[in-house]
Amino acid sequence: MLEQIKKIKQEAENELKKISTSQELDTLRLKYLSRKGLISSLFSDLKDVVANERAIVGQKINQLKSDVESSYKELQESLKSDKETEDDVDLFLPGRQPFIGRLHPLTIVLDEIKQIFFNLGFHVEDGPEIETDYYNFEALNIPKDHPARDMQDTLYITEEILLRTHTSPVQIRVMQSQKPPISIIAPGRVYRRDTPDASHSPFFHQVEGLVVDEGISFGDLKGVITAFAHKMFGSDIKVRFRPSFFPFTEPSAEYDFNCVFCRGKGCRVCKNTGWMEISGAGMVDPNVFEAVGYDSEKYTGYAFGMGVDRIAMLKYGINDIRLFFENDLRFLNQF
């Protein structure tokens, strides 16, 4: 009997070493550990053992049983964890994309605007967003009772200090510190007391343009604005100027581009007019030259405004200005 126990132990150990799959392990379990397995039959044979040896032999069989059981469990565990790591690796899963930063659409459009004007001989000037009443209004020939000064439109910090409502005050700062010829653009953020909706935001972005020299005419202004429209939206886009009024230009105009969606044919976006309003422009008012000490007999100049957000909305077909400022990655990732 002891011989037989030894033989089964040896056999089980050899077989355990060769096992590499869970099927093989299961066959081994059936052979040794099941109710009709070899170890159970050893227990049934125990009754034939002489009484005084029975305890010793019983102990040996128990020992064999627990040895085989623990080896079995160990193998079972290791086969299971192998299987898990195999299952975890899905070779068909698409790789993880590294997170890539992008330029904001307004930055992309502003860079393009700057590049176009740079090629036309302009350079970039900067001015403060917190301005004085003098630069934002007074020096620009905007009288005290002008509606733009209304509390409804302007965000005042004190009676004299405010958040600039347009980039036009940079015109004054540049003319105060430089002599003609001047040919600049001044991009930047501006503020108005507006309730946000699809086309209004309490802050937005403008580009101011200013050219001053001897003999500058309205024709130069039209040429530059038209060149800009062609570069920005395509050479089939027409430009038109409509008479208008701004206190700091005389004569003043508002300028429109052909609708960039229907190219002038008329569509839902341009309400069938074929045109889209862009901004204002005109010849620098002699009163403004006066304020900065320029000789208005000698020099003439033109100025224009431009809405960066509006141009970006037209360029990308965006119908809500608020999207630019919400920083929703689902929106920003598209540029």
Let me know how long the chain is. 335
Helix (H) or strand (E) holding 41: helix 38-45
311 binds ligand DAH (CB under 6 A): no
Confirm or reject binding of residue 180 to ligand DAH (CB under 6 A): no
| Residue closest to 324 by CA, chosen among 205, 191, 192 | 205
Instruction: Provide the minimum distance between the beta carbon of 305 and ligand DAH in the complex, in angstroms, as a whole number.
Output: 3
Closer Cβ to ligand DAH, 72 or 304, answer by number: 304
CA–CA separation, 61 vs 76, rounded Å?
Answer: 22
Q: Is 216 in the site for ligand DAH (CB under 6 A)?
A: no
At residue 29, the 3 state secondary structure works out as helix
With binding defined as CB under 6 A, does residue 303 bind ligand DAH? yes
Name which of 32 and 302 has its Cβ closer to ligand DAH: 302
Q: Is 187 in the site for ligand DAH (CB under 6 A)?
A: no
Which residue stretch of 70-78, 263-271, 288-296, 299-307 sits at the interface with ligand DAH (rule: CB under 6 A)? 299-307
Whichever of 304 and 324 has its CB closer to ligand DAH, that residue is 304
User: What is the smallest separation between the CB atom of 244 and ligand DAH, expressed in angstroms?
Assistant: 8
State the Cα–Cα distance between residues 266 and 262, nearest whole angstrom. 6
Q: Answer whether 203's CB lies under 8 Å from 326's CB.
A: no
Q: Residue 304 interacts with ligand DAH (CB under 6 A)?
A: yes
Cβ pair 226, 256 in contact under 8 A: no
Is residue 188 a contact residue for ligand DAH (CB under 6 A)?
no
- By CB under 6 A, is residue 154 in contact with ligand DAH? no
**Long-range contacts from 3-10, C-beta under 8 angstroms, 24+ separation:** 4/42, 4/45, 5/42, 5/57, 5/60, 5/61, 5/64, 8/32, 8/38, 8/39, 8/42, 8/64, 9/64, 9/67, 9/68
Q: What is the 3-state secondary structure (H, E, C) of 92-142?
A: CCCCCCCCCCCCCHHHHHHHHHHHHHHHCCCEECCCCCEEEHHHHCHHHCC
Please report whether residue 281 would count as binding ligand DAH according to CB under 6 A.
Answer: yes
Select the residue interacting with ligand DAH from 117, 270, 305, 321 (CB under 6 A): 305
Q: Which of 154, 183, 201, 249 binds ligand DAH (CB under 6 A)?
A: 249
Can you tell me which of 125, 131, 208, 285 binds ligand DAH, judged by CB under 6 A?
A: 208
Nearer to ligand DAH, 12 or 281 (CB): 281
Binding residues for ligand DAH, rule: CB under 6 A, are: 166, 168, 208, 246, 249, 279-282, 303-305
